[in-house]
């Protein structure tokens, strides 16, 4: 099959492995379980170690099955290279391990995935200042920038309140100041949005969520979009400076974060994620349509106090979402009227599962203040606009009418 970059999103993913050598005609990249890779002679081995020839050395820093998935993610994000990790958090941790030093400062969003928020606290304990601002307002991001600012890190749609960062303006700001712009694209996935479009230098994806999509495997990735000038980044170590500027960032991340900390993705997991990714577009279409139908039904119901979903005209960044994203995503949150107990309501649902996680094929519900955002405390929850009664819904691919009926019968008890 010839390379044709006019193919659509799903065609490209389905046929990407065939752009390279097809092993035994297998349409799936085989699962290579070998930890080490042998060469015909010692010189070839030495050349691989010295970077004079391409090849795999040891499973922790690279594997053919994982590499095939990395190629696919690069295509999905329209980037130049990707690195996979054991989890999404390992990918975010790699940014910290591979690129930041004591005395640096980062600017990030106040509305952030809970574990990323916790990781930034660890950064702060280790001498990296973290400014958390309302990233829906570019002026706040700009005001937080100091001469020590090494990166701005935001998410596309925040979980669980669905605030949307002012992605394009922050991108322009980072470009003007020469600051690395890192966007966690997990909530939108590369099917709904490519952060490269707004100037991101690095893109993070938790592969566990929409990309793998079935709640049966963990993984994470960093993609270099090729937009950031690594020659200008102060913390590239001397041995990586010898490479072409375009490769310096990912080479350092591969060595200092993936190799040295070792949170590598297993080849079995890479295979599972690659299979899941084939239907990313189909699932996202269905999940977004289901989420919109359910959010609209709830918003119109007098027993519901408010619904937070970018697809609703009442959402503060509805116009921005319409402009930037292909559709509005699979996640929304809502609050019932104060006299209805959110635990009692959740107990009435028959289809939706009481569980954490998002981007699954099955609809999941969770009272966030009492679970995933419990540890951070009431004050921080208030800053993130998370009410005690807030229910998060990660919408699956169930038949729309079944989902609407489940929530309607849940509400009918009040």
Ligand X SMILES: *Cc1c(COP(=O)(O)O)cnc(C)c1O
Q: Is 295 in the site for ligand X (CB under 6 A)?
A: no
Q: Is 220 in the site for ligand X (CB under 6 A)?
A: yes
> Least distance in Å: CB of 115 to ligand X?
6
The single-letter DSSP state of residue 23 is G
Using alpha carbons, select from 185, 188, 178, 189 the residue that is nearest to residue 153.
Answer: 185
Residue with Cβ nearer ligand X (236 or 330)? 330
Residues 92-131 that bind ligand X (CB under 6 A): 113, 116
Count the residues of the shown chain that bind ligand X, applying the rule CB under 6 A.
Answer: 15
Q: Is 89 in the site for ligand X (CB under 6 A)?
A: yes
Residues 175-194 that bind ligand X (CB under 6 A): 184, 186-187
Q: Which stretch binds ligand X (CB under 6 A): 137-145, 206-214, 299-307, 367-375?
A: 206-214
Residue with Cβ nearer ligand X (223 or 248)? 223
Longest Cα–Cα distance in the chain: 76
Answer whether 105's CB lies under 8 Å from 83's CB: no
Q: Residue 74, exposed/middle/buried by CB under 10 A (0-12, 13-18, 19+)? A: buried
Q: Which stretch binds ligand X (CB under 6 A): 87-95, 139-147, 235-243, 299-307?
A: 87-95
Answer whether 144's CB lies under 8 Å from 138's CB: no
Among 79, 88, 195, 215, binds ligand X (CB under 6 A): 88
Q: Is 155 in the site for ligand X (CB under 6 A)?
A: yes
Among 74, 117, 159, 266, binds ligand X (CB under 6 A): 159
Among 149, 208, 264, 266, binds ligand X (CB under 6 A): 208
Answer whether 284's CB lies under 8 Å from 210's CB: yes
Question: Dihedrals φ, ψ of 237, to 5°?
Answer: -70, 155
Q: Is 201 in the site for ligand X (CB under 6 A)?
A: no
**Which residue in the shown chain puts its C-beta closest to ligand X?**
88
> Least distance in Å: CB of 242 to ligand X?
33
Q: Which stretch binds ligand X (CB under 6 A): 86-94, 145-153, 231-239, 392-400?
A: 86-94
Contacts 24+ apart (CB under 8 A), 309-314: 309/162, 309/333, 310/157, 310/162, 310/164
Q: Give one DSSP letter per residue of 122-175, joined into a string.
A: HHHHTT-EEEEE-TTSHHHHHHH--TTEEEEEEESB-TTT--B--HHHHHHHHH
Distances (CA, A) of 347 to 45, 158, 339, 394: 60, 26, 16, 17
Residue with Cβ nearer ligand X (73 or 236)? 73
> Least distance in Å: CB of 118 to ligand X?
11
How far is Cα 3 from Cα 15, in angstroms, rounded to an integer? 10
Q: Is 252 in the site for ligand X (CB under 6 A)?
A: no
Q: Which stretch binds ligand X (CB under 6 A): 32-40, 162-170, 201-209, 319-327?
A: 201-209
Distances (CA, A) of 79 to 76, 165, 383: 8, 21, 34
List residues near ligand X by CB under 6 A: 87-89, 113, 116, 155, 159, 184, 186-187, 206, 208-209, 218, 220
């Amino acid at each position: 099959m010839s390379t044709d970059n006019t193919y659509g999103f799903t065609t490209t993913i389905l046929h990407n492995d065939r752009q390279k050598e097809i092993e035994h005609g297998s349409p799936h990249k085989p699962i290579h379980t070998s930890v080490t890779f042998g060469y015909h002679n010692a010189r070839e081995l030495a050349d691989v170690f010295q970077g004079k020839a391409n090849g795999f050395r040891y499973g922790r820093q690279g594997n053919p099955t994982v590499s095939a998935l990395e190629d696919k993610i690069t295509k999905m994000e329209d980037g130049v290279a990707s690195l996979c990790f054991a989890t999404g958090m390992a990918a975010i941790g790699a940014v910290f391990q591979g690129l930041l030093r004591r005395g640096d400062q980062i600017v990030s969003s106040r509305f952030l995935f809970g574990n990323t928020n916790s990781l930034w606290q660890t950064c702060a304990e280790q001498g990296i200042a973290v400014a958390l601002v309302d990233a829906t307002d570019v002026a706040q991001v700009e005001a937080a920038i100091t001469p020590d600012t090494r990166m701005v890190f935001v998410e596309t749609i925040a979980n669980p309140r669905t605030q949307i960062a002012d992605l394009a303006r922050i991108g322009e700001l980072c470009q003007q100041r020469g600051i690395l712009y890192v966007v966690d694209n997990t909530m939108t996935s590369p099917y709904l949005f490519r952060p490269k479009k707004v100037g991101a230098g690095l893109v993070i994806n938790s592969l566990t969520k929409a990309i793998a999509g079935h709640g049966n495997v963990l993984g994470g990735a960093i993609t270099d979009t090729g937009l950031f000038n690594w020659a200008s980044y102060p913390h590239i170590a001397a041995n990586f400076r010898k490479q072409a500027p375009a490769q310096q960032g990912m080479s350092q991340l591969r060595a200092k974060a993936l190799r040295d900390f070792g949170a590598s993705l297993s080849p079995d997991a890479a295979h599972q994620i690659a299979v899941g990714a084939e239907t990313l577009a189909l699932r996202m279409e269905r999940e977004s349509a289901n989420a919109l139908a359910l959010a609209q039904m709830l918003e119109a119901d007098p027993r519901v106090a408010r619904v937070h979903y970018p697809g609703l005209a009442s959402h503060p960044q509805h116009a921005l979402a319409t402009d930037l994203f292909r559709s509005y995503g699979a996640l929304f949150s809502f609050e019932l009227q104060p006299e209805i107990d959110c635990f009692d309501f959740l107990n009435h649902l028959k289809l939706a599962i009481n569980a954490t996680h998002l981007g699954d094929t099955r609809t999941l519900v969770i009272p966030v203040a009492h679970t995933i955002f419990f540890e951070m405390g009431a004050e921080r929850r208030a800053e993130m606009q998370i009410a005690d009664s807030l229910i998060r819904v990660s919408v699956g691919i169930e038949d729309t009418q079944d989902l609407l009926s489940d929530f309607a019968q849940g509400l009918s008890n009040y």
